[in-house]
Structure 1
Amino acid sequence: MNGSIQNPMLSKAGALVKHIKSQQIDRDEAKKSHPTFYRNLEEALDVRRGTQSLFSIVQSNWQTKNAVDFCSNDYLSWNTTGLIRTHFLDELSRYPDFSVAAGGSRVMEGNYPYIEETEAEIAAAHGAEAGLITSSAFDANVMVWTALPRPGDVIVYDALVHASTHEGMERSLAIRKTEFLHNDVDSFRETLLAIIDSQPLIKQGKRSIIVAVESIYSMEGDVCPLLDLVEIAEEVSHGHGNIQFVVDETHSTGLIGPKGYGLVCELGLEAEIAGQESIQILARTFFEALTSHPLWPSAQEKGLLSVPLAAGWEERPYLTHIVTVWPRQKYIYWLYLHLLSCSFFVLPVKQPIVPVGESRLRITFHAENTPAQVTALVEQIFTWMEEVMDIEQGKTQKKVTRAAGEVYVWMKQEGLRGFGMV
């Protein structure tokens, strides 16, 4: 890390500059003469740009093969290894008359046998009565929560369920939506009891409570205590069977349970597959390298670095493939840029995805990652931390870490702002 950083991903020609520029307030005076409709749109976008919270589409660095992927959701590396493409083409060759255009919605003559057969296979794999393929997980949550709750029903949801669940709940017919503290079984019990006491029809078993949880929470990396929640629901419902669960398995399918069918299928079972086990090895490697590093105690003591899932990791039977690293809030982009300079691509997560003051870096492990890459990632986290400690202790004249400093030089030249710039 001595000398100038030459990684092309930090240069003015890389994808990073496109992302940073997309977050800058548009000061083009000519646009003030545009029609009102377009001016109003730009003003709304500038609100997001001003807080660096505008979502924009740019080239992903890891897809250019210039960086190690610690950010995508390709957990089993089926995309990067070409496995999905191979199986797709093989399947397509088995059905030469397969229609690639529906010709309409499924309720308007656009249905066909192949998709029904696929849905039946998916349902059978999960032990369900039926299955329905949707265009995305987001759409699935919106559809489920819009359609399922009936008038008089109540929705109880974990405080950290996905935005798509909230969007669906807002469209539902439920008379009430109540959250319980994240993964807190006591809060869950208290919430259920309060609803049962206040809603006579639910107490009589004539209306239902529908519970929204996720098997793995993608911005926290922790696992839902589903079995405990189900036991509590059975206990307080007194045999009415009117407390039902909807479990979002987006980030557990393929990773947990027999054949990767998810947390629901995993409960009480122990089957594993090779891809899953390799990710477990990577997660254990990460936590072992992190917690055994000489600087780890100092990182916690000084509040420079926090990894919530590191506490008690040895005792957990299952380690998730998602780990969140929390630098001190003002250093989020410093660490992100440092790792990028070392060709490690992780995901900085800020508001509006998470609340203000809870920004973190999200690291995801994939079957194609190696223990050596994970160990090197941890080493670079602590290399960065040493730089920060030197700055805070006045051991250097620098005001910013090396990688961030290099980026901020050309940001200033371009008149760009934000992203932790000092």
Structure 2
Amino acid sequence: MKKLPLKVEKRLQLRKQENSLRSLGICSDMVDLSSNDYLGFSSSLAIFRQAERILQDKDVLKNGATGSRLLTGNHKLYGFAEEYLSDFHNADAALIFNSGYDANLGFFGSVPQKGDVILYDELSHASIRDGISLSKAQAYKFRHNDLQDLEEKILRLRKNEETEVYVVTEAVFSMDGDIPDLRALMELSKRLNFLLVIDEAHSTGVIGTRGKGPLQELGLEKEVFARILTFGKALGAHGAAILGSKELEQYLINFSRSFIYTTALPPHSVATIIAAYQHLNSEGAEKVEALSKNIGLFNSQVVKLGLENKFIKSTSAVHSCIIPGNEAVKKVAAKLQKQGFDVKPILSPTVPEGKERLRFCLHSYNTPQEVQSALSLLADLI
């Protein structure tokens, strides 16, 4: 095989020097404090069997979709799933994409137009940033959860009434686990007349009644231009959806390249989405409550052990303990893992230098003893 080009090889060597080289690992049998499977749905036998029943009942017995949704891949499960999603999330329409990454690429790469302005929270996910990079609109970041900074930038950047402004944030931030002031953000959107886009990847299934998310819990879902959901986290499945108006759905079908030019999800994936939502809407609601109790326990233990100054404040399933330096945070993570707790270090450049961290992801199936033991060990280590 030919060697890597010199410039590419240098980039790889730099990662090694910075102690930030990534590699693929194998899933372990340690106590899970790192996965996005917040409700344990990915291993639910009930959901697995329900997905099979849906395929049988709808007579969709195929392994693959056979093409894009605009060609041969739009099997009948899509319509059933999208109707269920729009009803559950109180939206006019839902359009399923192959992943959250695809949804963000497709939305930001097609909807904002030349002459428009996109303002995004500085801690927005990489998929949002990559989608924005495909847009012809001008894009600027605003300080994390800082609505005053956002307002000042909008007033400065809006050239005239024809300039459409899109503001992008997350309902729960994936690395910090915090939640923006959604009510204040909504009031600002009404006053300054901008289009609000919310990524709900880490809030769906976690927050609110039956995991419907903070926007629905506050009754604000109809005021948002677009919501982006993913199913690979609390729903334990795969894929994503964009919620919005019927007109937005029609536009995305016609202009979103990541939707148009890809093979559709196979029937089993869509059946699993349906089964997961049906479970969430019934007995799965108990899992949401169990997760909420573990989040409360985790926060109380952080206070009890005097670790408040180490953790970013969070009421979600994601909790980050700041341990600056790639080498330092990797050492603490390794010691936790040696004791049977799967806690992952998050290194720079994924997060800013000096903000390296241990990222704890809580689940409905974590026991109180597991939560308490992991934090007690962490307190001893740092």
Q: TM-score by structure 2 length?
A: 0.77
Secondary structure of the residue aligned to 2:313 is: helix
Q: Return the offset for 1:129.
A: 2.2
Is 2:324–2:353's contact at 8 Å kept on the other side of the alignment? Answer: no
- Secondary structure of 2:93's match? coil
- For 1:182, the equivalent position in structure 2 comes to 144
- The reply to whether residue 191 of structure 1 matches residue 153 of structure 2 is yes
Q: Secondary structure at the match of 1:132?
A: strand
- Summarize deviations over 1:367-409 as a string: whole Å, max 9, x none: 1101111111111112223xxxxxxxxxxxxxxxxxxxxxxxx
Whether 1:207 aligns to 2:211 is no
Q: Which residue of 2 aligns with 1:263?
A: 214
1:335-350 counterparts in 2 under 5 A?
A: 335-350=332-347
Aligned residues with identical type, % of pairs = 29
Alpha carbons of structure 1 residues 195 and 375: separation in structure 2 relative to 1, 3 Å: same
Q: Contact 1:156/1:178 (CA < 8 Å) preserved in 2?
A: yes
Residue 217 of structure 1: CA displacement?
A: 0.2
Alpha-carbon shift at residue 292 of structure 1 (Å): 1.6
Pair 1:325-2:321 in alignment: yes
**TM-fit CA distance, 1:338:** 1.6
> Which amino acid is 2:297 matched to?
T
State the shift of 1:360 in Å.
0.2
Identify the residue that residue 352 of structure 2 maps to in structure 1.
355
Q: Residues 129 and 207 from structure 1, CA distance in 2 versus in 1: closer, same or farther, beyond 3 angstroms? A: farther
Task: Name the count of aligned residue pairs.
Answer: 319
Q: Which residue of 1 aligns with 2:311?
A: 307
The superposition leaves residues 160-219 of structure 1 with CA deviations (integer Å, 9 ceiling, x where unpaired) of 001111111111121x212111011221222222223xx12xxx2x23111110000010
Partner of 2:299: 287
- Structure 1 residues not aligned, in runs of 5+: 1-33, 238-242, 311-318, 386-422
Name the structure, 1 or 2, with higher relative contact order (CA <8 Å, separation 6+): 2
Q: Return closer, same or farther for 1:107/1:381 CA change in 2, 3 Å cut-off.
A: same
Q: Which of 221, 226, 230 does residue 177 from structure 2 map onto?
A: 221
Alignment check: 8 A CA contact 2:333 2:345 kept: yes
Q: Distance in 2 between the 1:214 and 1:182 partners?
A: 11
Contact 1:158 1:213 in 2 (8 A): yes
C-alpha distance 145-374 of structure 1, shift in aligned 2 (>3 A): same
Give the counterpart letter for 1:369 in structure 2: N
Distance 2:131 2:170 in 1: 15
CA contact 1:188–1:229 (8 Å) conserved in 2: no
What secondary structure does 2:144 align onto? coil
1:132 aligns with 2:106: no
**Following TM superposition, by how much is the alpha carbon of 1:41 offset from its aligned partner in structure 2, in angstroms?**
4.8
**Structure 2 residue aligned with 1:167:** 130
**1:328/1:160 CA distance change after superposition, 3 Å:** closer
| Corresponding position: 1:152 with 2:152 | no
State the 1:50 CA deviation: 2.9
Answer yes or no: is the 8 Å Cα contact 2:345–2:358 preserved in 1.
yes
Offset of residue 42 of structure 1: 4.3
Shift of 1:120: 2.2
- Kept in 2: contact 1:221–1:324 (CA 8 A): yes
Separation in 1, partners of 2:298, 2:185: 30
Task: State the alpha-carbon separation in 2 of the partners of residues 99 and 36 from structure 1.
Answer: 41
Summarize deviations over 1:295-332 as a string: whole Å, max 9, x none. x2xx67xxxx611217xxxxxxxx21110011353531
SS of equivalent residue, structure 1 residue 308: coil
Equivalent position to 2:38, from 54, 62, 75: 75
1: distance between equivalents of 2:316 and 2:4? 46
Structure 2 CA distance for aligned equivalents of residues 83 and 42 of structure 1? 47
Structure 2's unaligned 5+ residue stretches are: 221-280
Question: How far apart, CA to CA, are the structure 1 residues paired with 2:168 and 2:183?
Answer: 14
Instruction: Return closer, same or farther for 1:142/1:371 CA change in 2, 3 Å cut-off.
Output: same
Q: Which residue of 1 aligns with 2:49?
A: 86
Residue 349 of structure 1 and its aligned partner are, at CA, apart by 0.2
User: What is the TM-score of this pair, normalised by structure 1?
Assistant: 0.70
1:38 positional shift = 6.1
- Matches for 1:384-403 after TM superposition, within 5 Å: 384-385=381-382
> Which residue is equivalent to 2:79?
116
